[in-house]
A and B are shown apart, each in its own frame.
Chain A
């Protein structure tokens, strides 16, 4: 069949309202694994993949951001409008538009479909989520809908394996091997003059094509929403969920972390016996295992954090949390549309900053970009976990809460509050925005999707360890090992090394906030990514431990050598410090300005230094 595949495939574009299942269908058609979630605004850029149909036709499939109208109000919606109209970066219009509509919400989704029909381009309607129609007691007369719209209509279940079969069959039958696509001529009755015509037309289609088996009753979903969206009970539920999440990160992960740490220690001993004494042994044991191995240990904590985030995403709870927190967002001068980008930033600031494309107002978008790095991303977790593990005793508070989990929760809250304060200052005098958002249906999180999501997070984390962290650990090992100390010199070899000298040069700047030269070295290499600092500390202390013939993991070494004030000061530093090149690069890309990058770097480093200084001095006062 490969021989049948054309050099230049026909292009089809998936369009529709947000959260109607376009990306799930895209993944089914192309075999991709793009992120899907049960809320609007997950896809913010045009994505492309290929589908080879059973008859060997090769099609380029475009997945576009969701929009309610072709009258775009935000950068992501503009991408969809431009692609549909053939104005996108010199690309021709797609050969076929596939309008995905949620079968459970035709009243809303038909409006955009009618708008698309007016473009007069070849179009197919995909009625997605038909599997839940029975649950809601809805019946749709598909042939009737097809004749009303005057274009082909197929049914799909985007989240089920093989759920796009009908669409693939239709594409296989209708797409020509080459040339122009010919579809039935548009029914003139769908050409509409204004929005009231659209409403009338939607009402008529619903009357003729949709029937309800039973009248609308109070659903479990409505009962749940009464509690979840309640201003007091809702906040208690949200706080409880977040609190349990941070408790779980420490309590559940500990046995797995101990197992990993033990395996890494054994690997270090094994490699030491296999490789004879020399620079290569130092590179592998102190550089790679001492550096990257220290970071790998935190994988279980990161996976548990993501298990919670993915489960909340899939269940449909997150948009409700956005609705609940809208008044807080309003106090900070931000609109509700800022919530999802800020929430995404808890995983990583990069997709969070990209998700700001859904924000219509430029000033709101810029402020959200500026505060996104203050949300505690998963890269901070290894640092927080390392310092909390070393300095906070693992004991329970009032017999219920784990003290380490409690401290982690406080660090997250400090990040959120700081972001809101900064937003308030930046938005002083700005007008208030109102939140208008679609709440998705609740779903039980699918075990398959959860496992797939965790697998992807584990792959991302391990590939970062395997590339960024291993390479920097090796460079740092070289800088920490050479040049060798001159004969007859005093002090350790590490202090004579290049890294040691650089660290000592920086000490005067960082000693007011309690950082020693080893931390200064870790901060420099940690500019690349936050978790690199853990690997860097691992490498530096592994070399020092080898020199002093001490063996053991990083946590006991740190608790023996650092004071509590230094540890707290470093925690405060990492709440604010913009130590992530990828975040700065994406700010440059999204704002198109180096000025914004400079503003971010300067204000966040200033905040980091001030916070670390205050924490160091205040802790010093209390600890004597």
Chain B
């Protein structure tokens, strides 16, 4: 069971990594919605804050001098 949970989390992190690269704006919205969901449930406050911070990031993070207009 533990193997399944670790595997699932690792795969999800990779999916999020690519989602941010391919659709940075969609990623921001998703992070904001997930943070709101956690807030409503009142659980994982650290994850919630992290997601809120992520929702404010601009660009895919691949290049630092693109003025965030690469996508």
Measured in the bound complex, the distance between the Cα atoms of B62 and A323 in whole Å is: 35
Question: Cβ of B18 and Cβ of A478 under 8 Å apart?
Answer: no
Question: Cβ of A472 and Cβ of B65 under 8 Å apart?
Answer: no
A315 to chain B: closest CB distance in Å?
Answer: 29
**Total A-B residue contacts, Cβ distance less than 8 Å:** 47
Q: A45-B65, A585-B71 are in contact. Are A279 and B7 (CB under 8 A)?
A: yes
Flag whether A54 is at the interface (Cβ < 8 A): no
Which residues 279-310 in A have Cβ within 8 Å of B in the complex? 279-281, 283
Flag whether B47 is at the interface (Cβ < 8 A): no
Q: A45-B65, A278-B3, A478-B11 are in contact. Are A471 and B18 (CB under 8 A)?
A: yes
Question: Cβ of B3 and Cβ of A280 under 8 Å apart?
Answer: yes
Question: Cβ of A589 and Cβ of B4 under 8 Å apart?
Answer: no
Residues of A with C-beta under 8 A to B14: 470-472, 474-475
Residues of B with C-beta under 8 A to A472: 14, 18
Question: Cβ of B15 and Cβ of A475 under 8 Å apart?
Answer: yes
> How many of A's residues come within 8 Å of B, CB to CB?
21
Flag whether A504 is at the interface (Cβ < 8 A): no
Measured in the bound complex, the distance between the Cα atoms of B63 and A588 in whole Å is: 13
Flag whether A467 is at the interface (Cβ < 8 A): yes
Question: Cβ of B69 and Cβ of A589 under 8 Å apart?
Answer: yes
Of A474, A478, A585, which one neighbours B62 at CB under 8 angstroms?
A: A585
Which residues 249-268 in A have Cβ within 8 Å of B in the complex? none
Question: Cβ of A283 and Cβ of B10 under 8 Å apart?
Answer: yes
Measured in the bound complex, the distance between the Cα atoms of B65 and A585 in whole Å is: 13
Flag whether A178 is at the interface (Cβ < 8 A): no
Q: A278-B3, A280-B3, A280-B6 are in contact. Are A474 and B70 (CB under 8 A)?
A: no
Residues of A with C-beta under 8 A to B6: 280
Residues of B with C-beta under 8 A to A281: 3
Measured in the bound complex, the distance between the Cα atoms of B69 and A284 in whole Å is: 36
Question: Cβ of A279 and Cβ of B4 under 8 Å apart?
Answer: yes
Interface SS of chain B: helix, strand, loop or mixed? helix
Flag whether A73 is at the interface (Cβ < 8 A): no
Over the window 1-33 of chain B, the binary record of Cβ atoms lying under 8 Å from chain A Cβ atoms (1 yes, 0 no) is 001101100110111011001100000000000
Question: Cβ of A585 and Cβ of B7 under 8 Å apart?
Answer: no
Question: Cβ of B3 and Cβ of A475 under 8 Å apart?
Answer: no
Residues of A with C-beta under 8 A to B21: 581
Flag whether A551 is at the interface (Cβ < 8 A): no
Flag whether B66 is at the interface (Cβ < 8 A): yes
Question: Cβ of A280 and Cβ of B7 under 8 Å apart?
Answer: yes
Which residues 10-61 in B have Cβ within 8 Å of A in the complex? 10-11, 13-15, 17-18, 21-22
Measured in the bound complex, the distance between the Cα atoms of B65 and A281 in whole Å is: 39
Residues of B with C-beta under 8 A to A474: 10-11, 14
Measured in the bound complex, the distance between the Cα atoms of B21 and A528 in whole Å is: 10
Measured in the bound complex, the distance between the Cα atoms of B70 and A528 in whole Å is: 15
Over the window 487-502 of chain A, the binary record of Cβ atoms lying under 8 Å from chain B Cβ atoms (1 yes, 0 no) is 0000000000000000
Measured in the bound complex, the distance between the Cα atoms of B13 and A581 in whole Å is: 20
Question: Cβ of A467 and Cβ of B3 under 8 Å apart?
Answer: no
Q: A278-B3, A582-B62, A585-B62 are in contact. Are A467 and B70 (CB under 8 A)?
A: no
A609 to chain B: closest CB distance in Å?
Answer: 24
Measured in the bound complex, the distance between the Cα atoms of B6 and A279 in whole Å is: 9
Question: Cβ of B3 and Cβ of A279 under 8 Å apart?
Answer: yes
Question: Cβ of A475 and Cβ of B11 under 8 Å apart?
Answer: yes
Measured in the bound complex, the distance between the Cα atoms of B17 and A333 in whole Å is: 42
A125 to chain B: closest CB distance in Å?
Answer: 29
Complex: chain A residue closest to B69, CB-CB: A589
Measured in the bound complex, the distance between the Cα atoms of B12 and A478 in whole Å is: 10
Question: Cβ of A589 and Cβ of B70 under 8 Å apart?
Answer: yes
Residues of B with C-beta under 8 A to A45: 65
Question: Cβ of A589 and Cβ of B7 under 8 Å apart?
Answer: no
Measured in the bound complex, the distance between the Cα atoms of B71 and A528 in whole Å is: 14
Residues of A with C-beta under 8 A to B10: 283, 474
Measured in the bound complex, the distance between the Cα atoms of B7 and A475 in whole Å is: 11
Complex: chain B residue closest to A481, CB-CB: B7
Residues of A with C-beta under 8 A to B7: 279-280, 283, 478
Measured in the bound complex, the distance between the Cα atoms of B2 and A278 in whole Å is: 10
Q: A283-B7, A283-B10 are in contact. Are A589 and B18 (CB under 8 A)?
A: no
Measured in the bound complex, the distance between the Cα atoms of B69 and A558 in whole Å is: 41
Measured in the bound complex, the distance between the Cα atoms of B70 and A13 in whole Å is: 27
Residues of A with C-beta under 8 A to B4: 278-279
A465 to chain B: closest CB distance in Å?
Answer: 14
Residues of A with C-beta under 8 A to B69: 589
Measured in the bound complex, the distance between the Cα atoms of B70 and A586 in whole Å is: 7
B63 to chain A: closest CB distance in Å?
Answer: 8
Complex: chain B residue closest to A592, CB-CB: B69
Residues of B with C-beta under 8 A to A279: 3-4, 7
Most central of B3, B22, B66 by chain A CB within 10 Å:
B3
Question: Cβ of B17 and Cβ of A467 under 8 Å apart?
Answer: yes
Question: Cβ of B66 and Cβ of A589 under 8 Å apart?
Answer: yes
Measured in the bound complex, the distance between the Cα atoms of B48 and A121 in whole Å is: 50
Question: Cβ of A475 and Cβ of B62 under 8 Å apart?
Answer: no
Complex: chain A residue closest to B4, CB-CB: A279
Complex: chain B residue closest to A46, CB-CB: B65
A335 to chain B: closest CB distance in Å?
Answer: 26
Residues of A with C-beta under 8 A to B71: 585
A528 to chain B: closest CB distance in Å?
Answer: 8
B2 to chain A: closest CB distance in Å?
Answer: 8
Over the window 188-210 of chain A, the binary record of Cβ atoms lying under 8 Å from chain B Cβ atoms (1 yes, 0 no) is 00000000000000000000000
Question: Cβ of A475 and Cβ of B18 under 8 Å apart?
Answer: yes
The 9 closest A-B pairs by CB, nearest first: A280-B3, A471-B14, A278-B3, A585-B70, A279-B7, A474-B14, A478-B11, A471-B17, A475-B14
* A-B residue pairs in contact (CB < 8 Å), sample of 14: A45-B65, A278-B3, A470-B14, A472-B14, A472-B18, A474-B10, A475-B14, A478-B11, A581-B21, A585-B63, A586-B63, A586-B70, A588-B70, A589-B69
New contact pairs (16) apart from A283-B10, A478-B7, CB-CB < 8 Å? A45-B65, A276-B3, A279-B3, A279-B4, A280-B6, A281-B3, A471-B17, A474-B10, A474-B11, A475-B18, A582-B62, A585-B62, A585-B66, A585-B71, A586-B63, A589-B66
Q: Which residues of B contact A (CB under 8 A)?
A: 3-4, 6-7, 10-11, 13-15, 17-18, 21-22, 62-63, 65-66, 69-71
